Structure 1
Amino acid sequence: MPRKTRTVPSLYLRYARLAALASVTLSSAAAMAQKAPLYLDPSQPVQARVDDLVGRMTLEEKVSQMQNHAAAIPRLDVPEYDWWSEGLHGIARSGYATVFPQAIGLAATWDVPLMHEVATTISTEARAKHSEAVRHNIHSIFYGLDIWSPNINIFRDPRWGRGQETYGEDPFLTSRMGVTFVEGLQGDNPKYYKTIATPKHYVVHSGPESTRHVANVDVSPHDLEDTYLPAFRATITEAKADSIMCAYNAIDGEPACANTFLLKDVLRKDWGFKGYVTSDCAAITDVAEGHKFAPDLEHASVVSVRAGTDTSCGKEYSTLVKAVHDGLISESEIDISVKRLFTARFELGMFDPPADVAYARIPFSEVDSPAHRELALKVSEKSMVLLKNDGILPLKKSVKTIAVIGPNAASLAAIEGNYNAIPSHPVLPLGGMGAKFGATNILYAQGSPYVSELPVVVPRALLHPAKGDKRFGLKGEYFNNIDFTGSPVFTRVDQFIDFDWDAASPGPGTDMSAFGVRWTGTITAPKPGSYPFMFKLAHCYPCGDAENVRVFVDGKQVSYTQTPAKEFRSNGLEPFTLNLTDTKPHELRIEYSHHARLFGAGLTFEWMPPIDTERENAVEAAKKADVAVVFVGLSPNLEGEEMNIHVEGFNGGDRTEIELPDAQKHLLEAVAATGKPVIVVMLNGSALAMQWAKEHAAAVLEAWYPGEEGGTAIAETLAGDTDPAGRLPVTFYEGTKQLPAFDDYSMADRTYRYFKGTPLWGFGYGLSYTSFKWSNVKLSTNKLTAGEPLTVDADVKNIGKRKGDAVSEIYLKAPASPTTPIHALVGFARTPLEAGQMQHIHIVIRPRSLSTVAADGKRSIQAGEYSIFVGGAQPGETNEGETKSFSIVGDKDLPR
């Protein structure tokens, strides 16, 4: 936190002081009771307090509260507040915090109690950060208590770049993970929310990114009810999420944030939602400019408020003052939204004495604590999905030398994912492998870029701290100023220049808002030639950053870049070329200074590698090793939200094809040609078509974007310290040709529920280092009355020779019809078992999970013959598991 900032007393205490000064004849308590406004009296009902506060506001003040950055109202002692905070898999963009695996990796754990621990930890750190910020009079974006997570859109197509933020393709798995995540964020206090969760993006939002601001989705009533709505319904009706975010796209001709059917009829009437709705950022602008649903921002704001969107992410709602004066909307309609917003703030305890709010007393020491780091490691270990193993794993003790190869072996972004927290001590795969197997036993080669058209982090092999120094990397001197004066506050060797310091300082003694780093050493070309180099800034929001980078080679300045003071989210600096005519070490000095109020630090040193040379280096490393572990896949710099990436296979954050890019595919083939066993470790946020790896690799491990301890978790999994028991939350298809058109939102021939082809690896698939057997499956009845739950009991036994986690998957097969899924997940449980141990599982299948949806969107439980499968994968994928049949008697319609 910035130094020398004053502590701001709570509103309650300030009014108490005013009341005490108002009269010398009354006791201070009596004076407070007489003078303090009702809205500051914690003993009063929340609604009465909200009505009192909003009733004191002018129209302009009310409207000022309906934008994500709500202005302060000094005369009422209402502090400014920003509704926008991120907590998808760790509290993001507000300094160091615990970084868990990306959401798709969390889903791969298939572990509901563990997910609750994750969400509880995230909300704990959010509270601690918020309280610390308030103590220092910081009310900025990303320090609030309204968390814009989870993303529970259905990952219907692997080409969508934001699918990594979701819990996969299945409505039931997404619902269970979403419900427990919301509950963990919001806490269990009967009076106060810990934080407020915001499920997003409501609804039918799942790409393409390039058309999201203009796209209208004509989704069928069946698909809307069967696939797109269930997770949102569950988080609202079961977990009682107090907020929800509407999407960019339009549905059936009405923008999501101005859609009366979705926001009024479904959300509030059918589901009984009492909280507030926030727009996605600039989505109100899209109502007018993208969808042409309104003639201008004023009218767009009016139709959105009337539909039920209470606050805009952006400044569009500032037009509402004029709209009231123009007679387009009444002030009483404005009041509805403002009261919803202040109800949330009161229920977070923001207007009560901190002593009364237990969550407000969470110490800052909880943030990035050792216990939380241990949990991050545990979750990462449990997210690993073993897709193939010919017996090479766990690695035998006879394996002495390991070639660690690939663009994801040493990439910070590849363990962070997107919408990420900032790790204080990230463990990259290369570091994890060195720590586990011994650094001297590791031979590292970058091998290839992700794609031939884009740069990648400069590998450590090119850099040394000084001539003759055999260590890798550069000497880093860290200064607590921007002009490199005086002595550095600390010095270390950085193997890579690849840092994310968003709202965080590089280390002890440096101020996050103003510091400098000088890296010195040598750079050596892999072969004589001209090499393009460039720097990438980690961040540039909320803008106002001033970044300076100077580069000197052999004492001569070869590059100097300064970012414009108001540049927004521009993270690419001007490239420069080094003409290295030999392979001798050349002196290198890089000076980076950062000067910003709160946000934006971080730098990555990149290059365009000579692909053939890097591949040859990888082959040489593999030849010298007993085994090659090749880290391939994707990067959140390639797949993500609305990105300026347009190269073969990638477009605007999405993918145009799901095959592994050619540069990486050729790397795998070249390494395998050495004859050494190849273990493929994938780091990615979406499914990859990895047919070659399935056919030729000795083992394939899916690691996702695994979080701050990802490198440790991967190494421990390969070593056999932990048993990989994650399961795929998405289908891995054989290739792009198996997919329908990306912009077709019909679920026909999509996901395991409706896909008629043969996948590469199916939803729910995953191997283990041990084996399990399911037996004694019993149903509570073989003739169920429609509307009643069904109980499933079974035994699962670890029949292998080592401990592991059994993941029991329960699928329902309903009577066939044109709209019925092939089968559908209706229950699951993850059970740790010692070798030889048996455990009884007991799962209640709710009536809603036994229902089906007709073409007209009506959900009902239908009479007929059904079956339940209990096993370790989908029915028919393995020989594990048992099937039991039962019938349902009678029909029962279910509410929307």
Structure 2
Amino acid sequence: MFAFSSVVYSNPYNNRMDEFIDNLMSKMTLEEKIGQLNLPASGEIITGQAKSSNVAERICKGQVGGLLNLKGVERIRDLQKLAVEESRLGIPLLFGMDVIHGYETIFPIPLGLSCTWNMEAIEQSARIAAIEASADGICWTFSPMVDVCRDARWGRISEGNGEDPYLGSEIARAMVRGYQGDAMKRNDEIMACVKHFALYGGAEAGRDYNSVDMSRQRMFNDYMPPYKAAVEAGAGSMMAAFNDVDGIPATGNKWLMTDLLRKDWGFDGFVVSDYTGITEMVDHGMGDVQDVAALSVNAGVDMDMVSDAFMTTLVRSVEEGKVSEETIDTACRRILEAKYKLGLFEDPYKYCDLKRPAKQIFCDKHRKIARKIAAESFVLLKNEGNILPLQKKGTVAVIGPLANTKANMPGTWSVAAVAENIPTLVEGMRFALGDKVDIITAKGSNLMSDAAYEERATMFGRSLNRDSRTDQQLLNEALEVAAKADVIVAAIGESSEMSGECSSRSELDIPDTQRTLLEALLKTGKPVVLTLFTGRPLVLNWEHKNVPAILNVWFGGSETGSAIADVLFGDVNPSGKLTTTFPQAVGQLPLFYAHKNTGRPLGEGRWFEKFRSNYIDVSNDPLYPFGYGLSYTTFEYGDVILNTKSMSMDGEITATVNIKNAGNYDGYEVVQLYIKDLIASVTRPVKELKGFKKIFIKAGETKTISFKISPEMLKFYNFNIDYVVEVGDFDVMIGPNSRDVKSARFTLR
């Protein structure tokens, strides 16, 4: 055995990484190399039982390269000790976890986080997640998810950054920087894993794991940029997607994993499959387990998550000539390089300081930042008659099935969260408001009606948690509470399980019994504020028409309740802007602002024209456009002024606009720059986001905002998938959202 105290491993950083790994691999058997490619689930391993577990036995035999979703630094240290001291070569393990939007301090779901349009805040959230996860032994996170999604039926839209490739690219860079810090040198910096490569958000019909089929042009212009941005930011690993790409599953797609990712983009990290993604290719029709394992490793996938296909078949495939030993060596080297870059060969216990968790996990400092970022993520969709902000006095009734539930505050993919530590909405509001406001509460309804619950219980083959009282009993109780209040805050929407992985929906309305509750609350005549919990765009036509104030709070994380109080009562002026379009009807999906024109476009401002591209039962317009979000103040935009009307291929143009805060509150505004290519060799979108600035403007103040426009910003992938810029006319549009813009025109010569 080569222990870390051995001369072989002494101070490996005195040698170059290649020399160190060459030396190590020269001592490895084929089976041990394949062992490095194996990422099993950890199972229920607890301190003191590690040595007797099956996983522990495999670690000692050199059959494990890393472990998945094991929580607790003591448990992780125990298993790392087994790898280092009991296996033949003492190679340390990677410990990975789905740290998606926080560890125990939970930030808004990624879709909500993107609505801050604040790259510093987004990077800070990833930095804190890395600090907490690393304090508990984790060195590798399966985040960020950068899949572009334009169909709200897809449940995992909640886990991404919305519909726009430019904004998604900026967020991808920020998240990688936040996780990895200064090249993962410190013990609170961890390796990012960008997912899901590629095109997962384009699943047909919004159904999770479904096929994806699109042109290369759409692929490169609309879906690939965030992945590429993450690679350019130095992401250490990538995760293969479940779907197919051009008819070949991503997990076995050599063009995707080798030609594009490594040769064209220069990615030098490793690729891991998604959970059982390799064996799932059997159901794709790509062969038996041995066939798909060979297909995957030959394509450039280096690590097998959970399926055990590499461990059980690759030796045979090498013997039969289906996989070369050189291919195994390449994959093994990439895993070892990741461990080297993380500093695990120098100190395998780098992330196992037993004193860190008590100081750095779910601490007051992190919770305060989470509260601030949560408030910044909320999007004010409607505020008729300036019902908001509320005054800090009187009695407020917080009513709805999401008013007093801890589990639903963090949202989907909060695997490390400790539910009992997270305040409910009511608890958070009481904490924030103290004795200034009397908060009373009632559940009002279950998340869905009795009939809907029974149907789902039958579908899932088990009973589902719900209140034993009938819908009518809950409603009667809510109305009694509402009668005592000055204002009603309706805590309504999706539960956290209604969005996320494997949570696609064919209808996007607020669940039935909650609508009944909302209707009854409105009939009381009391002012009603809808605090909407959701992991995706919903169809809110009725709510928009009938409810005076709607604040979309997504799932705001650990500090949701206090953050909601901060916004509702005016301590924070809402500044969130949508990063995904809200439809009027499910039948409009997929729906996104950067669509292309047809040869028969609908006239501007028109609802219907015969022989035009439209519906006969709904307009083409969204309910809320991309980039939309109200404030407690009013921002007035002046005309767009260009410093020149013509630009050469080596020049630039400055676009300027004056923005006045014409209201009574100081506030932040997200100023958005869009560009339209009027004539090109291929059809182009009606507008594309090319820049944004989040600025603070005091009440009554006017600020001048400028954007520099260069030919580089005008490039796109043409029919031949060449990245080009073409001469011609361009419209520059600046505004508070993708719909309400002012424009000017220039010519690129």
With the length of structure 1 as denominator, give the TM-score of the two structures. 0.71
Match of 1:81 in 2: 93
Q: Residues 436-455 of structure 1 correspond to what in structure 2 (within 5 A)?
A: 436-437=432-433, 441-453=438-450
SS in structure 2 of the partner of residue 201 of structure 1: strand
Picking from 204, 209, 234, the partner of 2:229 is 234
Look up the equivalent residue of 1:655 and give its one-letter code: R
Look up the equivalent residue of 1:85 and give its one-letter code: M
8 Å contact from structure 2 (residues 184, 341) kept in 1: no
Picking from 760, 767, 786, the partner of 2:623 is 760
Rounded to whole Å, the distance in 1 between the matches of 2:742 and 2:211 is: 44
Deviation at 1:382, TM superposition (A): 0.3
**Relative to 1, partners in 2 of residues 1:790 and 1:63: Cα closer, same or farther, differing over 3 Å?**
farther
Look up the equivalent residue of 2:422 and give its one-letter code: P
8 Å contact from structure 1 (residues 409, 429) kept in 2: yes
Look up the equivalent residue of 1:90 and give its one-letter code: G
Look up the equivalent residue of 2:700 and give its one-letter code: G
8 Å contact from structure 2 (residues 150, 591) kept in 1: no
Deviation at 1:826, TM superposition (A): 0.8
Picking from 407, 411, 432, the partner of 2:428 is 432
Deviation at 1:218, TM superposition (A): 2.4
Match of 2:667 in 1: 804
Rounded to whole Å, the distance in 2 between the matches of 1:863 and 1:856 is: 17
8 Å contact from structure 2 (residues 134, 351) kept in 1: no
1:623 aligns with 2:616: no
Q: Output one character per residue of 1:329-368: Cα deviation in whole Å (capped at 9) or x when no partner.
A: 121210000001110100000011489x799899431222
Look up the equivalent residue of 1:446 and give its one-letter code: K
8 Å contact from structure 1 (residues 803, 835) kept in 2: yes
Match of 2:562 in 1: 712
Q: Output one character per residue of 1:684-704: Cα deviation in whole Å (capped at 9) or x when no partner.
A: 110011112211111000000
SS in structure 2 of the partner of residue 84 of structure 1: strand
Rounded to whole Å, the distance in 1 between the matches of 2:687 and 2:698 is: 31
Q: Residues 24-43 of structure 1 correspond to what in structure 2 (within 5 A)?
A: 36-37=7-8, 40-43=11-14
SS in structure 2 of the partner of residue 391 of structure 1: helix
Match of 1:734 in 2: 584
Look up the equivalent residue of 2:500 and give its one-letter code: G
SS in structure 2 of the partner of residue 706 of structure 1: coil
Match of 1:587 in 2: none
Look up the equivalent residue of 1:205 and give its one-letter code: Y
Match of 1:167 in 2: 161
Aligned residue pairs, count: 677
8 Å contact from structure 2 (residues 153, 206) kept in 1: no
SS in structure 1 of the partner of residue 273 of structure 2: strand
1:303 aligns with 2:315: no
**Relative to 1, partners in 2 of residues 1:123 and 1:748: Cα closer, same or farther, differing over 3 Å?**
farther
Q: Output one character per residue of 1:759-800: Cα deviation in whole Å (capped at 9) or x when no partner.
A: 111110001011223447554643223466655444444332
8 Å contact from structure 2 (residues 152, 206) kept in 1: no
Max radius of gyration: which structure? Answer: 1
Look up the equivalent residue of 2:219 and give its one-letter code: L
Rounded to whole Å, the distance in 1 between the matches of 2:316 and 2:624 is: 56
- Consecutive unaligned residues of structure 1, counting only runs of 5 or more, are 1-10, 19-35, 92-96, 131-142, 457-531, 536-569, 576-604, 643-652, 890-896
The 10-residue stretch of structure 1 (732-741 or 186-195) with the greater mean CA deviation from structure 2 = 186-195
Q: Output one character per residue of 1:531-572: Cα deviation in whole Å (capped at 9) or x when no partner.
A: x9x99xxxxxxxxxxxxxxxxxxxxxxxxxxxxxxxxxx999
1:634 aligns with 2:646: no
**Relative to 1, partners in 2 of residues 1:221 and 1:811: Cα closer, same or farther, differing over 3 Å?**
same
8 Å contact from structure 1 (residues 40, 49) kept in 2: no
8 Å contact from structure 1 (residues 805, 832) kept in 2: yes
Picking from 822, 834, 837, the partner of 2:698 is 834
Deviation at 1:38, TM superposition (A): 5.7
**Relative to 1, partners in 2 of residues 1:702 and 1:39: Cα closer, same or farther, differing over 3 Å?**
same
Look up the equivalent residue of 1:195 and give its one-letter code: I
8 Å contact from structure 2 (residues 410, 557) kept in 1: yes
Deviation at 1:212, TM superposition (A): 5.0
8 Å contact from structure 1 (residues 224, 857) kept in 2: no
Match of 2:604 in 1: none
**Relative to 1, partners in 2 of residues 1:622 and 1:320: Cα closer, same or farther, differing over 3 Å?**
same
Rounded to whole Å, the distance in 2 between the matches of 1:874 and 1:572 is: 45
**Relative to 1, partners in 2 of residues 1:716 and 1:747: Cα closer, same or farther, differing over 3 Å?**
same
Rounded to whole Å, the distance in 1 between the matches of 2:494 and 2:130 is: 29
Look up the equivalent residue of 1:431 and give its one-letter code: E
Q: Residues 475-514 of structure 1 correspond to what in structure 2 (within 5 A)?
A: none
Look up the equivalent residue of 1:868 and give its one-letter code: V
Match of 1:863 in 2: 727
Match of 1:773 in 2: 636
**Relative to 1, partners in 2 of residues 1:809 and 1:325: Cα closer, same or farther, differing over 3 Å?**
same
SS in structure 2 of the partner of residue 78 of structure 1: coil
Match of 2:24 in 1: 53
**Relative to 1, partners in 2 of residues 1:333 and 1:178: Cα closer, same or farther, differing over 3 Å?**
same
Q: Residues 168-187 of structure 1 correspond to what in structure 2 (within 5 A)?
A: 168-187=162-181
Deviation at 1:609, TM superposition (A): 3.8
Rounded to whole Å, the distance in 1 between the matches of 2:701 and 2:206 is: 51
8 Å contact from structure 2 (residues 578, 625) kept in 1: yes
**Relative to 1, partners in 2 of residues 1:281 and 1:230: Cα closer, same or farther, differing over 3 Å?**
same
1:323 aligns with 2:317: yes
Deviation at 1:633, TM superposition (A): 0.9
1:201 aligns with 2:192: no
**Relative to 1, partners in 2 of residues 1:784 and 1:68: Cα closer, same or farther, differing over 3 Å?**
farther
Picking from 363, 369, 381, the partner of 2:363 is 369
Deviation at 1:853, TM superposition (A): 3.8
Match of 1:702 in 2: 552
1:122 aligns with 2:144: no
Rounded to whole Å, the distance in 2 between the matches of 1:371 and 1:257 is: 41
Rounded to whole Å, the distance in 2 between the matches of 1:730 and 1:229 is: 17
8 Å contact from structure 1 (residues 117, 184) kept in 2: yes
Match of 1:503 in 2: none
Q: Residues 647-796 of structure 1 correspond to what in structure 2 (within 5 A)?
A: 653-739=503-589, 757-775=620-638, 777-779=640-642, 781-786=644-649, 790-796=653-659
Structure with a larger share of its residues in strand: 1
- Consecutive unaligned residues of structure 2, counting only runs of 5 or more, are 41-63, 66-82, 599-612
Look up the equivalent residue of 1:715 and give its one-letter code: A
1:90 aligns with 2:84: no
Rounded to whole Å, the distance in 1 between the matches of 2:257 and 2:186 is: 25
The 10-residue stretch of structure 1 (267-276 or 420-429) with the greater mean CA deviation from structure 2 = 420-429
Q: Output one character per residue of 1:219-262: Cα deviation in whole Å (capped at 9) or x when no partner.
A: 1122111211111111112x121211111111111110111111
Rounded to whole Å, the distance in 2 between the matches of 1:104 and 1:625 is: 33
The 10-residue stretch of structure 1 (420-429 or 278-287) with the greater mean CA deviation from structure 2 = 420-429
Rounded to whole Å, the distance in 1 between the matches of 2:271 and 2:478 is: 52
1:260 aligns with 2:257: no
Q: Residues 469-480 of structure 1 correspond to what in structure 2 (within 5 A)?
A: none
Rounded to whole Å, the distance in 2 between the matches of 1:40 and 1:412 is: 48
The 10-residue stretch of structure 1 (201-210 or 668-677) with the greater mean CA deviation from structure 2 = 201-210
Rounded to whole Å, the distance in 2 between the matches of 1:52 and 1:748 is: 59
**Relative to 1, partners in 2 of residues 1:398 and 1:793: Cα closer, same or farther, differing over 3 Å?**
closer
The 10-residue stretch of structure 1 (446-455 or 273-282) with the greater mean CA deviation from structure 2 = 446-455
Look up the equivalent residue of 2:16 and give its one-letter code: P
Deviation at 1:611, TM superposition (A): 1.1
Between the aligned residues of both structures, percent identity stands at: 32
The 10-residue stretch of structure 1 (359-368 or 686-695) with the greater mean CA deviation from structure 2 = 359-368
Match of 1:351 in 2: 345
SS in structure 2 of the partner of residue 630 of structure 1: strand
Match of 2:332 in 1: 338
8 Å contact from structure 1 (residues 204, 224) kept in 2: yes
Deviation at 1:188, TM superposition (A): 1.9
8 Å contact from structure 1 (residues 212, 248) kept in 2: no
**Relative to 1, partners in 2 of residues 1:63 and 1:635: Cα closer, same or farther, differing over 3 Å?**
same
8 Å contact from structure 1 (residues 728, 762) kept in 2: yes
**Relative to 1, partners in 2 of residues 1:183 and 1:108: Cα closer, same or farther, differing over 3 Å?**
same
**Relative to 1, partners in 2 of residues 1:189 and 1:277: Cα closer, same or farther, differing over 3 Å?**
closer
The 10-residue stretch of structure 1 (197-206 or 783-792) with the greater mean CA deviation from structure 2 = 783-792
SS in structure 1 of the partner of residue 690 of structure 2: strand
